[in-house]
Structure 1
Amino acid sequence: MSSAAPRTAGQDHLWSVDEHLEDILATVRPLEPIELQLLDAQGCVLVEDVTVPVSLPPFDNSSMDGYAVRVADVAGASEEFPAVLEVVGDVAAGQAELLQVGPGQAARIMTGAPLPPGAETVVPVEWTDGGLGEGPVTGMRARSLAPTGADGQVQVYRSAEARAHVRAMGSDVKAGDRALEAGTVLGPPQIALLAAIGRGSVRVRPRPRVVVLSTGSELVQPDQELGSGQIYDSNSFALTACARDAGAIAYRVGAVADDAETLRSTIEDQLVRADLMVTTGGVSVGAYDVVKEALSHVGDEDEAGSGIDFRKLAMQPGKPQGFGSIGPDHTPLLALPGNPVSSYVSFELFVRPAIRTLMGLDDVHRPTTRATLTADEALTSPKGRRQFLRGTYADGEVTPVGGAGSHLVAALAHADALIVVPEDTESVEPGAEVEVVLLR
């Protein structure tokens, strides 16, 4: 949660991208850790090291279906001169009582079953007659072990080295080893490891709950018929998907009409399930910019330290931005512009790092690289603004996609990178090296 209201400045102050982001990250704090069951902890960040309580595997076991034998008993075995061993019984996975394998003996063993006392190695069933006295087991017959023959014997046609096809106790991890370190994001492999060492729950920072709502009386939900002057609400879907991609549990709220009281009421209703709120639209200087109208003076009524500061940033797209906290818990709120590209770029630059900070991650930013610009003509950029253009990146080269317009959703769908043009640069020639933010 946030701990203080954002910095404020004069109405004409033009904030840099770095200043705005620094303000956000200085205000947002990681969520408090909780204990969660394994599957509920997927996608969360560990807050403490996890030590292995018991070695994995916890005992020597077979990696094949076959026969557990002594090395000396199969030395020199061949198809012409097989080793003939007495089968003393079966060893299955999960079996508690183990057979003793003595000289001249073999125990039929299943994959994952513990190596019985006296046995030194495992010969796969394909190297034997499977106890049938009919030559090596091949093809379909190699898929399972046949019942031991009436004579209780098995013929082995190849020798085996000591501990062949044996998974040693602790060969994966040993008791006392560090299985996972604090700061690890728990994905499926990490969940599997935790379960394998017997951990049913872990202490993590929970995935942040992010509520996304868009504003505008002109917005219509997909699958509905458009009326005159109406457009489909794409921003709330895009930003909700972005929040989930960043690691959050995201809730999308239907578009709110251009009414300040309705918007405030909706936001207040949603606070109960929000660790972070994101609005899109209504932050510019138009007559119907309801987000500013609804939230500009919220600090006058809420507890001290709350409040939303609306700013102009030296960037394109995304000049108008709002940031602050709202409600008794000082829930962070980021107000993004309404143009689709502006809101998406703003999310990547500001909201995604805030979400990753709430998760407790150290690296909260998208990776960046340097790339050679491939384009038919020079890129132009307004002086004093940091411009973010959509592009496609591959093999050290980046190519612009679409134009600079903040409404070009189709071009955005084909981009996998943002081309960064610095504030002091007005033109970038083809072949020049540029900074690139990688989006995927």
Structure 2
Amino acid sequence: MLDSTELALYRRLAREQAVGRAPSLVAAVVRDGEIAWSGARGRVGADRPTDDTQYRLGSITKTMIATAVLRLRDEGKLELTDPLERHLSGTAFGSATIAQLLSHTSGLTSESPGQWWERSPGADWAALASSLEKDATKLRPGFKFHYSNVGFGVLGELVARHRGRSWYDVVREEILTPLGMHRTTPHPEGAHAEGFAVHPFADVLLPEPSPDAGAMAPAGQLWSTITDLGRWTSFLGGHTGGVLSGGTLAEMRTMNTVDDTEVWTTGFGLGLMVARHQGRHLAGHTGSMPGFLAATLIDAATGTGALCLANSTSGVGITTLCLDLIGITEEREPALPAEWQPSTVDPKLLALTGLWHWGPTPYLLRVQSDGLLSLDPATGGGRASRFHPTGPDQWLGLDGYYAGETLTVGRGPDGTADHLNLATFIFSRTPYDPAAPIPGGVDEAGWR
């Protein structure tokens, strides 16, 4: 980056470390799948932390559990609409669906019963499940957003049952290793920061505990570094490394429920936080455990993201810092749009493009560079969606009003496409084309 950009980023990091009184604070900006800048302030022991110093990730662990669950879905081993009981029997909350657990709409209690789980040695799954036999569901499943650490303890067990090994072994083998994240571990290894609480009224520190969370570990156990978390941030932005398909990752980033219901700025997709900030749509997660704060956010549209790690229980505006680092980068060195290049399109697909009419309303059908179809009103607002192919002359809606609906191409005796059937709505080349199967027919006298 430009020297002036790096100075602005470092100054923002330095200000947060000083004002937030963080024993140490590290951060990075990623662009196009790589770390473009990183910085550090404070000390770990006698030294400045580096990109290889481990910090605890807290709830960013949940995003990796969610990825493991979506891999199971993509393999056909489960559906997101499945009730938990189908895969993890014997719980008192088996009617909640897997999608509800991923999006924090299952209604499950936020914390595990008993002692404060983040500061106590964790029990095994049998003990956790037993503690949840009564009063575990606080809200009707699907009713509203209610953040649940317990829900991801449950999902970790689901992953372990399906794979026949621990949740961490699954995450390591299927996610971390393929992405080259070799310094992401359940306990600190090698160079790492110790977690501290900072006294509210004096500049003194208190070491915080970091016990193994047992069955609750999938909610926040992992430790990582700037280098590894940079790779993970890039993954969330679309550099999947073959771990997930781009479509599945986009599904995870799609907002399922909102946290603030008036004019939403934050919400949740499938295991990912989603946010709107200064016109950007961001995805990622924050994390906090005793002695640590963490955040990762990325704008998939521009490929610019930021990540921050601190060894302080509170006081550091970790999310705001991430947002500001993205904002500084985009303001000073805005991402360039991808260079346009011509592509090859199947002539049969090309013949579908152009003007179609839903009744008297004109729509435009286009082939995108990624091979998807887009159907948009020719003028003004209206129902717009993108579609991906599922078979000969069949396409499935990805977003907008027609998400999940099927678009079928209708052809005449000579094989020419003469209408589109989209969830029973008939689109024709001309308004109310008599040759198209318009429900109710078309007045024989025609337009007059």
Q: State the TM-score, normalized to the length of structure 1.
A: 0.22
Which protein has the bigger strand share?
1
Which protein has the bigger helix share?
2
Q: State the TM-score, normalized to the length of structure 2.
A: 0.22
